[in-house]
Structure 1
Amino acid sequence: MGLGTWSWIVPDGLWELARPLIPEGRVRPQGGGTPNTPDETLFAAIIYVLVSGCAWRALPPCFGISKSTAHRRFLIWSRAGVWGRLHEAVLHQLDDAGLIDVSRVVLDSAHVRAKKGAHTQVRAPWTGASRVPRCTSCRTRTDCLWSSASPPPTSTTAKG
């Protein structure tokens, strides 16, 4: 594909890696209908949407396919595992060429499945009575330092 019609969007060699991974199109048992769009064109349209970040409805008319056709085929290929296997094939090819160094790797949590029913945060157990007395419990006592009814400060402790 690198030298073909879609070389401006699909890098050299990517189509050759993807072609064997794409599932065969279903044949309608009753026959008829419009002929299927070539997989190469659909692949280029999907790559365009994924790389550019545009919405499916903004797919340029130069591809000659509808947005629903491109999106439907993207979903079919996604369910068939095409994109994961294509990623692995590209990584193997880069590794064979010595272009990957895996001595330092980062695992992104977006790629790790969160298990349902994970442990929720557990409350700390009660450890007993607090050492700090409550002021509300000793309002009527005058000998308590935290009491609101304690005697006013004396001249030695008052600021002045």
Structure 2
Amino acid sequence: MPLDDRKCLQGILFVLYTGISWNHLPTELGFGSGTTCWRRFRRWCHAGVWEGLHRMLLSDLHALGQIDWSAVCLDGSHVKAR
């Protein structure tokens, strides 16, 4: 039976937050294996899920007045400068 998306998301966020490698994700936490989470992460990246979530979060925070746009900068290593 495939791992529940919510559990996989928790595993992905745990890896991204802690910086551990996918192979070191403890299965005891109930997030599935690191390989499973990595595959789901890769699939969601290709599907544009993370970009969509990021846009939604920015939109919601902006609507609530929770973003100080005067402190925003772009990192040229991630965004193509034209």
Q: Give TM-score scaled by structure 1 length.
A: 0.47
How many aligned positions are there? 81
CA distance in 2, matches of 1:96, 1:83: 20
Question: Residue in 1 aligned with 2:68?
Answer: 101
Percent identity, aligned pairs only, is 40
Cα deviations by residue, 1:113-145 (Å, 9 ceiling, x for unpaired): 379xxxxxxxxxxxxxxxxxxxxxxxxxxxxxx
**Contiguous gaps of at least 5 residues in structure 2:** none
Unaligned stretches of 5+ residues in structure 1: 1-34, 116-160
- The structure whose Rg is larger is 1
Aligned 1:9-28 pairs, distance under 5 A? none
Name the structure 1 match of 2:36.
69
Query: Which stretches of structure 1, 4 residues or longer, exceed 4 Å deviation after superposition?
Result: none
More helix per residue: 1 or 2? 2
How far apart, in 1, do the equivalents of 2:3 and 2:58 lie? 29
State which of 60, 78, 81 in structure 2 corresponds to 1:111: 78
Deviation per CA, 1:59-111, whole angstroms, max 9, x where unpaired? Answer: 01212512211111010001011111111111111111111121343121112
Q: Which has the higher contact order (CA 8 A, sep 6+)?
A: 2
SS in 1 for 2:15: helix
CA contact (8 A) 2:10 2:31 kept: no
| Match for residue 7 of structure 2 among 41, 56, 61 | 41
Q: How much is the aligned-residue C-alpha RMSD, in angstroms?
A: 1.8
Q: Compute the TM-score of the two structures, normalised by the length of structure 2.
A: 0.87
